[in-house]
């Protein structure tokens, strides 16, 4: 089972991802372009044809993903069920693969970078690494 510290790390990361993707989704649906102070290209990325899937904002899909991970991690803290930890560890693969695809698009197709999108990718990959550590290693001791 995940240790308490590991589960809290997943909860914090997923909450940060939830905040980030919620901000992007709000900007998307309000028709506003998020400001990009460090990197130039948020406008290009967030208004590209890849910003939606089937008419749904990629950011909104991120909100749903991070919300599921956040609620699952809170439930895991409460229940301490190994089966929930395994399910969560497998579920985060979806976010990891989506992040890889979206980074690929930014680098090779869109050729522009969105700081908020890269932050989301960072949180998603971090959650994935923690999840894979659980699946590939012996269960962590409870703390």
Q: CATH number, domain at 115?
A: 1.20.1440.130
**In the chain, how many domains are there?**
1
Q: What is the pLDDT of residue 55?
A: 96
Q: Is the pLDDT of residue 98 over 50?
A: yes
* Confidence band of 142 (pLDDT split at 50, 70, 90): very low
Q: Is the pLDDT of residue 143 over 70?
A: no
37-41, 42-46, 87-91: lowest mean pLDDT where? 37-41
The pLDDT, as a whole number, for residue 137 is 65
With respect to residue 95, please indicate whether it lies within any of the assigned structural domains: yes
Residue 109 covered by a domain: yes
Q: 0.85 cut: is pTM over it?
A: yes
d(CA 68, CA 61): 11
Q: Residue 22: inside a domain, yes or no?
A: yes
In the block, which residue shows the tokens 């998307």? 28
Q: What is the pLDDT of residue 133?
A: 81
In this prediction, residue 136 carries a pLDDT of: 77
Q: Does position 87 have pLDDT exceeding 50, yes or no?
A: yes
Give backbone dihedrals phi and psi of 56, rounded to 5 degrees, phi first. Answer: -105, 130
- Torsion 123-60-78-136 (CA) sign: negative
For residue 45, being part of any structural domain is answered with yes
Residue 58's domain comprises 4-136
Q: Is 141 inside a domain boundary?
A: no
């Amino acid at each position: 089972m995940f240790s308490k510290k590991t589960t809290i790390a997943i909860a914090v990361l997923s909450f940060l991802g939830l905040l980030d993707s919620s901000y992007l989704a709000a900007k998307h649906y309000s028709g506003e372009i998020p400001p990009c102070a460090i990197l130039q290209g948020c406008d290009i990325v967030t208004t590209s044809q890849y910003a939606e899937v089937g008419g749904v904002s990629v950011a909104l899909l991120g909100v749903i993903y991070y919300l599921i991970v956040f609620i699952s991690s809170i439930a895991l803290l409460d229940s301490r069920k190994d089966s929930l930890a395994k399910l969560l560890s497998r579920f985060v693969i979806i976010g990891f693969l989506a992040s890889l695809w979206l980074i690929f698009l930014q680098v090779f197709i869109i050729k522009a970078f969105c700081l908020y999108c890269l932050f989301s990718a960072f949180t998603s990959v971090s959650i994935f690494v923690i999840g894979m550590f659980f699946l590939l290693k012996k269960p962590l001791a409870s703390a």
